[in-house]
Structure 1
Amino acid sequence: MLGQSSRSTMIWASAFIVLNCLTSAVQGLSTSPGSPCEDVCHRTATNTTSNEIVCKDQLFSSTTKGSNFEQCVECQLNSDYVDSKSGESDVNWGLYNLRFTLTSCLFGYPQQVVNMSSPCVVSCQSLDSALEYDITEPSTLNFNTWCSASSFADNVIDQCEFCYNLTTNQVFMANFLEALRFDCHFRTPTGSSFAISPARIFTQELLPSTDPSSTGTPKSGGVKNLTLVIALPILGFVILVCGTTLCCFFFIRWRRKRARKQRQSSHLHARWNDTTISTPYRGDWDPQYGMGQGFGFADNDGREQDVGFAKPGFVEITEPAIPLSNFNQEKGVHDGYYGGLAHKQ
C-alpha cells in the first residue's frame, strides 16, 4: 500500500515537472509565424505573457529575462518580415511587446509584474484605456486600432514621458511610449522595418518628441528648431527697435525744422509791425536845392550840380561859377532864378 502511494506520488511529481517544463517552453514573446526572430524570442506562442517582462532599466541588461526581451524586440523592429497568410509582421509584434510591457509595468494589467509605487503612474493614468485596448487578444485587426483612442493624447504623452525621464531606473518606459506614438502618427509601411533604431529605444537618453505636423520624421532636428524658436523673437525685437529709432529720428528732425520756420516767421512779422524801426536819417536833402539853403547849378555840358550848404538867412554868393551872360545865351535862359542871383551880385 505504501509502495503504491509512493509510486503515485512520484507519477504526480513527474507530471508536474513535465507540465512545468512545457509551460516554460511556451513562455516568451509573440512573433510572426515563420519569422526569423522566432529563435531569438524563444517561443511560437500566440501571445506574450507577463512572465517575460521586466520594468527597471538595469534589468534589461543584468538579467536573462530582460536581455531576452531586448534581443527579441530589437530583432522584430529591425525585421521587414510579413507572414503572407496572417498578414502579421515582425514590426507589429515588436510594438505590441512594448505596449504589453507598458501596461504591465505602469498599470499592472493584465498581470502585476512588480509592485512599484511611482508618481508617474498618476501622470500617465489617463493613457490606460488606450494602451490596454485588446491587449489580451492581439491580431492583425487590432494592432493599431487603439491609436485612435481620444485618451492617447499628445499632451498626456508628453507629461508621462517627462515624468519617467526624471526617474533613474525607468527611462526606458518613456522611450517605449514614444516609439508607440511615432508609429501611431507615422504608420510603418507593410514590409518595412521600424524607422527608429532599437538601440535608441533601449537607452536612458530620451527620444525626441514626435511632431504630428512634420512630414514623417521625428524631431531629430530639435536643436535646430529650438534655435529658430529662440532667434526669431530676438530678431523681431531688434527690427522693432531699429524701426522705432528711425521713426523717432525723422520725427524729431521734422519737429526741429518746423520750429525753426515758425521762429523765423514770427521774427519777420514782429519787425514788420515795429513802428520804431526807420530808415537811416540823411538830413533834409533835396536833390534840386541841396540841404537847408544850398543851391544847385548846371555845367556847360548840362549836368546839374549841388553846391554848398548854408543855414537859412546866411546865403551869400560873391561870384557866379560861370558867367551868366554866356550861360544865358547858350541855354536861352532870361531873367530866371540864376539871373536874379547875378543881378543881386
Structure 2
Amino acid sequence: MRGSWGFSPRSTFIWAGALILLGQLAPVGVALRTSPGSPCADVCNKQSTNTTGSEIACLDVEFSSTGKGSHFQQCIDCQLRSTYKDSSSGETDVDWGLYNLRYAFTSCVYGFPEKVANISTQCTVSCQPLDQALEFDETNPSANNFYTWCGTSAFADNLITQCTNCYNLTLTQGQDPKSDQSQVYMANFLESLRYNCHFRTPSGIAFPITPTRIFSESLLPSSTVDLINPTSTGSGVNLAVVIALPILGFVILLCALAICCFFFIRWRRRKARRERQSSHLHARWNDTGISTGYGNWGEHQAMYSPNMYQQGYGQGFSVIDNDGRYHDVGYSKNLAEVTESPVVSSTTHSPEREKIHEATGYFGQSSKQKQ
C-alpha cells in the first residue's frame, strides 16, 4: 500500500537513508557566531549560527593559504570594525569578534572546546596557567558573561606576557611556507583580549586595534594606554599603580629615615665634642694651681713686690743704659717724686762723673729744689 505521498514504505526508507548519508558527507556547521541581525552575518555565518572548530586555523601561514583561515580572518575583520549592537540582547559584533579570537586561542593551545590541531610547542607549557581563565564560560557565551573571565586571578599580566613572548619567538624565516610553524597570531589574539579586559570597548564603537595589526607577525605592544580615551587609565594600569606606589613610598621613607639618622648622629657627636671642650676650658679657668712660665700668681706678685726693688735709698729698681751701665730709679723713703736726670753717655769711665751723677740724678731733684 502506497503512502499518502505516493511513495511505498521501501522508497521512504531509501530516501531516509540518502538524507542521512548526505548529512554525513556534508560538513558540520561551518560558521563563526555573530550578534543577531549583524551586517557581518553574511561573512561569518555559512551554515550555522555557532562558532565551530572547523573554521579555526592555528598556524600563521594557514590564515593566508587555506580557506578556513581566510574565512576566519575576514569574519574577525568585519566584526571588530563593526559598530553594530543588537538592542534586544545587548550583544555587539565586537563582543563576538573577541569571543571568536578567544575560541581560536583555546582550541589551538589547550584543545578546548575542540582540538583543531596537533602542534607540539613549548608555549603550551608557558601558557598553561591561563587556561582556567580563558576557558571560563566559553561553552555558554552571552552578553552577561562575555568578560567575566577577565576578573579571574588566573588572567594575570605577568602570565599573559610570558605566554605572548613565547609565541612571538616561534617566528621563523623558512623558505618553504608549508614548514613554517610561526604562531605570532596567537600572541596577538591574546594581547587583544588583554587590552579589552583593561580598557573595555564601549557599545557602538569599533575595536580600537585594527585587525590588520592583529593578523600580523609583529607582536602587539602590551596594553598600557586606552586607545579610545588616552587620558584615562584602565583597571590594569590602576592595579599596577596600586601595587607600585606603596612599595615606592616605603623605599622613599626608608631612605629619608636613613638620611635623618645620619645627620642626627652627626649633630649629636658635634654637640658632645663642643660640650667636652667647653667643660675642659672651664675647669682650667677655675684651677689656680695651673702653672705658667712665671709660676703661680702668688709667686708672680712676690717677684714684683716693692721689696724686690728696695735698696739703700728706699724703693726702686735698676735699669741698664745703652753703654752698659746700671742705674737705680725709684722713690725715697718719704715717698717724694723721683725723676731721672738725663744720662750723659760717655765712652770714658770716670769716678768724678759718677759722683756728679749720683749727686744730681739719683733722686731727680737738687737740694735747693727740695727746700
Tell me how far 1:23 sits from its aligned partner: 3.7
Q: Is the contact made by 1:109 and 1:132 (CA closer than 8 Å) also made in structure 2?
A: yes
2:332 alignment partner in structure 1: 296
Contact (CA 8 Å) 1:50, 1:113: kept in 2 or not? yes
**TM-score after normalising by structure 2:** 0.59
2:221 maps to 207
Name the structure 1 match of 2:234: 216
Q: 3-state DSSP class of the match of 1:46?
A: coil
Q: 1:136 to 1:242 in 2, by over 3 A?
A: closer
1:193 alignment partner AA = A
Distance 2:103 2:268 in 1: 70
Question: 2:366 matched to which residue of 1?
Answer: 321
Q: Distance in 2 between matches of 1:185 and 1:44?
A: 34
> CA 1:130–1:171 in structure 2 vs 1: closer, same or farther (change >3 Å)?
same
In the alignment, what sits opposite 1:183? 196
Counterpart Cα distance in 2 of 1:95 and 1:318? 137
Q: Is the 8 A contact 2:198 2:236 kept in 1?
A: no
Letter matched to residue 296 of structure 1: S
Whether 1:284 and 2:317 are equivalent positions in the alignment is no
1:37-186 correspondence to structure 2 within 5 Å: 37-41=40-44, 43=46, 45-168=48-171, 169-186=182-199
Matched residues in 2 for 1:143 and 1:307: separation? 126
1:276–1:128 distance in 2 versus 1, CA, 3 Å: closer
Indicate the SS of the match to 1:56: coil
> Cα gap change, 1:303/1:31 in structure 2, threshold over 3 Å: closer, same or farther?
same
3-state secondary structure, aligned to 2:102: helix
Three-state SS of the structure 1 residue aligned to 2:195 is helix
Identical positions, percent: 42
Separation (CA, whole Å) in 2 of partners of 1:295 and 1:97: 130
- What displacement does 1:73 show? 1.1
Query: Could you tell which deviates more after superposition, 272-281 or 113-122?
Result: 272-281
What CA distance in whole angstroms lies between the structure 1 residues aligned with 2:196 and 2:359? Answer: 136
Q: Distance in 2 between matches of 1:286 and 1:107?
A: 125
SS of corresponding position for 2:308: coil
The 3 A distance-change label for structure 1 pair 307 and 190 is closer
Q: Scaled by the length of structure 1, what TM-score is found?
A: 0.63
Moved more, 181-190 or 88-97: 181-190
Q: Note the alpha carbon deviations across 1:251-292, whole angstroms, 9 max, x for none.
A: 887688678767866876789511762449568224982348
The number of aligned residues is 296
Partner of 1:332: none
Letter in 1 for 2:367: I
Tell me the equivalent position of 2:9: none
Deviation digits for residues 180-236 of structure 1 (CA, Å, limit 9, x no counterpart):
233334433222222333333333324314599x723876xx9xxxxx9xx999999
Q: What secondary structure does 1:305 align onto? A: coil
Could you list the per-position Cα deviations for residues 74-96 of structure 1 after superposition, in whole angstroms to 9, with x for gaps in the alignment? 22112110123333210111011
1:17 Cα deviation (Å)? Answer: 10
Query: Would you say the 8 A contact 1:131–1:146 is kept in 2?
Result: yes
Deviation at 1:144, TM superposition (A): 2.8
Q: Which structure 1 residue ranges, 5 or more long, are not aligned?
A: 1-10, 223-227, 309-316, 328-345
Q: Which amino acid aligns with 2:366?
A: A
For 1:305, the equivalent position in structure 2 comes to: 338
Which amino acid is 1:215 matched to? T
Alignment map for 1:255-270 (pairs within 5 Å): none
User: Structure 1 residues 199 and 234, CA, compared in 2 at 3 Å: closer, same or farther?
Assistant: farther
- Corresponding position of 1:342: none
Taking a change above 3 Å as real, the CA distance of residues 206 and 259 of structure 1, as seen in their structure-2 partners, is farther
Asked if the contact 2:82–2:94 (Cα under 8 Å) also holds between the matched residues in 1, the reply is yes
Shift of the 142–238 alpha-carbon distance from structure 1 to 2, 3 Å rule, reads closer
* Aligned equivalent of 2:206, options 181, 193, 214: 193
Rounded Cα–Cα distance in structure 2 between residues aligned with 1:307 and 1:187? 117
Deviates more, 1:160-169 or 1:148-157: 148-157
- Matched residue type, 1:304: E
Answer whether contact 1:30 1:44 (CA < 8 A) is retained.
no
CA contact (8 A) 1:124 1:159 kept: yes
SS of the aligned residue for 2:119 comes to coil
Q: Whole-Å Cα distance in 1 between the matches of residues 359 and 157 of structure 2?
A: 129
Amino acid at match of 1:144: Y
Letter of the 1:177 partner, please give it. Answer: L
